[in-house]
A and B are shown apart, each in its own frame.
Chain A
Amino acid sequence: MKHLSTIGSAALLGSVGITVMSVLSGCEAQQEVPANRFLVIEQQANGGYVVVEETPTEGPNRAIIRETDGNGKVTERFMNEEEMKALAQQEYEKVEAGESALTAPPSDAGMGLAGTILAVAAGSLLGNMIGNALMGNKNFQKNANTSNKSAYHRSAANKASGKSSKKRSFFGGSKKGSSTTRSGSFGG
């Protein structure tokens, strides 16, 4: 072939090639091992939990759970990987039964502790297959995003500019599609 280039190998499709190959072969061997995390999870005023700190760690997954009781007293407790796995597994079973808030549209009620743990660390606690399957769910992605306020998740690499006074948004919420089909597309 004189000019034509082809895809001789999945490697030429970069990170997408890895995903496609793992799906076609039905195996997860080629995936990266997800990093373990050290998490600080804080209970919010609405009773839900969010991750406020997240640090990758060489050691096992661990978390500190910061909760506020009815009198406003803050307590902190440690949770080891085994306990986190048990909670994640329990929430994953709810996902499979269609009863988890994680795969429902985001709501103001906040996410329970088990849901927050699964949202943040599904891959490293329950394995890549489950992690990837969950990340393929749009509601899960959105809930996972709102459950994690840590700087690590928000990309610490990017520096905030601090100039916010005059910034404006556009597209005032009216530019929303509502479809998993191709209608409303402008691909031409």
Chain B
Amino acid sequence: MLNLQKLTPLDDTALEEIGFTWHTDSDGSKYIADTLVGITEQEAEAYYAAANELYDMYVKAAEYVIENDLFFDLGIPFNLIDPIKKSWENDVHWHIYGRFDFSGGIDGKPIKLIEFNADTPTGLYETAILQWALLKHNEMDEDRQFNNIYQAIADNFRRLVTLFDDVDEFDERYDGWKILFSSVEGNDEEEMTTQLLQKIATDAGFVTANAFLQDVKFDEEGIFNSDGNNYEYWFKLYPWEDIGTDEPELAMLLGSIMNNQKAIILNPAYTLLFQSKGMLKILYDMFPDSPYLLPTSFEPLEGSYVEKRMFGREGANTKIVDASGKTVSEVDGPYGNYKPIYQEYTEFVKDSEGNHYQAGVFFAYEACGLGFRRGGKIMDNMSKFVGHVLV
């Protein structure tokens, strides 16, 4: 039985004052649920362990893909292969953060990997800040939440300078290198996610600035804002595969910038390998005995399965097919041109009203926080955010 606890929600004005403006979905429903999922420490530890182990597996699988030149199988645009290899070769291209999506983990169900959002994960504000504010607002113990995301990401920004050494070395080694943060203009969620990351990096000790994507300037010498200031790091909350397909000249230029060691781009290009759902098949081939992996193939499976696209996001272009071959649930979307992959179907944990729950575990050097999405059989753009409390 799922442990759900009712709580007093933060009103829209309070949410807006803390910068969270996307509180209402396009159908007028509230995006932040007025419940918390109660989980045990053991359940939280299990999510922590799963994300850490899976990250190590992703690293091994990426190594395998690069060594065996399997980029085409993963749907990687050809013009990003070089940037991916370049970023993989040198640790300075440090992965700042990602989010694993899991089914199970509560209500006695086993944890299974649904996918890894490694390149441009959102849901950050909700998980890192809002669910903690909900505990405070309801006068609950703020210590009872698996949530160290803010500090973990701050430390990971510092690792851009210290790499595998102690992050306390940062102050001594940091020499004023600047990070420029960019997102698309006009989408609140993406703008605020980018601003939050900028704040974290600033708190970590970096000099930072922001500019919308269209205001960033590039040449062989580096990456600049519209005033001509040069930045050593560029964080873009924008999918690598879209750069590859929609901005091929930029993809070329970014490759040169990396080759000339003029700037470091975050999240690194190799996170596109992690992001490709084709990796789910590579992982399953390499680690068939892992308890976290579902059988996955480039061909339709026997029995009930989920068809997804290599780079579909927000549940778009996802289809659930039952054992008789009948489609039982389907979400349309713009990703139909990418190749399909087929993953064995696993049902999300359900509450008494039939809502499904998917866990999202953030990863920044290690697993660092947990949040839930509540929705239908396919978690799409209308799914709700549900916080958690350790019971």
Contact = CB atoms under 8 A, between A and B. Distances in A.
Contact of A167 (B121, B144, B188, B224): B224
Nearest to A167: B217
Interface string A159-183: 1111110111111110111111111
Interface of B: 14, 16-19, 21-22, 24-26, 31, 41, 44-45, 48-49, 99, 101, 115, 117, 120-123, 128-129, 132-133, 136-137, 142-148, 150-152, 154, 178, 184-190, 196, 199-200, 202-203, 207, 209, 213-222, 224, 227-230, 238-239, 247, 249-250, 253, 275, 313-314, 368, 381, 390
Nearest to A173: B214
A3 to B, nearest CB: 5
Interface size class of A (residues with CB under 8 A): 35 or more
Contacts of B228: 160-164, 167
A184 interface: yes
B122 A187 contact: yes
B25 A19 contact: no
Interface residue SS majority, chain B: mixed
A73 interface: no
A154 interface: yes
A180 B21 contact: yes
Given A13-B128, A14-B199, A188-B115, 6 more contacts: A132-B17, A155-B209, A155-B229, A164-B228, A185-B314, A188-B122
A15 B204 CA distance: 11
Given A133-B17, A188-B115, A163 B145 contact: no
Nearest to A160: B228
Nearest to B239: A186
B364 to A, nearest CB: 11
Interface of A: 1-10, 12-17, 19-21, 23-24, 132-133, 136, 154-155, 157-164, 166-173, 175-188
Contacts of B219: 163, 166-168
Counting chain A CB atoms within 10 Å of each CB, the highest count among B185, B187, B209, B250 belongs to: B187
B272 to A, nearest CB: 13
Contacts of B368: 5
B186 A177 contact: yes
A182 B101 CA distance: 18
Contacts of B314: 185-188
A169 B143 contact: no
A158 B224 CA distance: 11
19 contacts: A1-B41, A4-B41, A14-B200, A16-B200, A23-B18, A133-B17, A136-B19, A167-B224, A170-B218, A171-B214, A173-B214, A179-B188, A180-B21, A181-B24, A182-B22, A185-B122, A185-B189, A186-B122, A188-B120
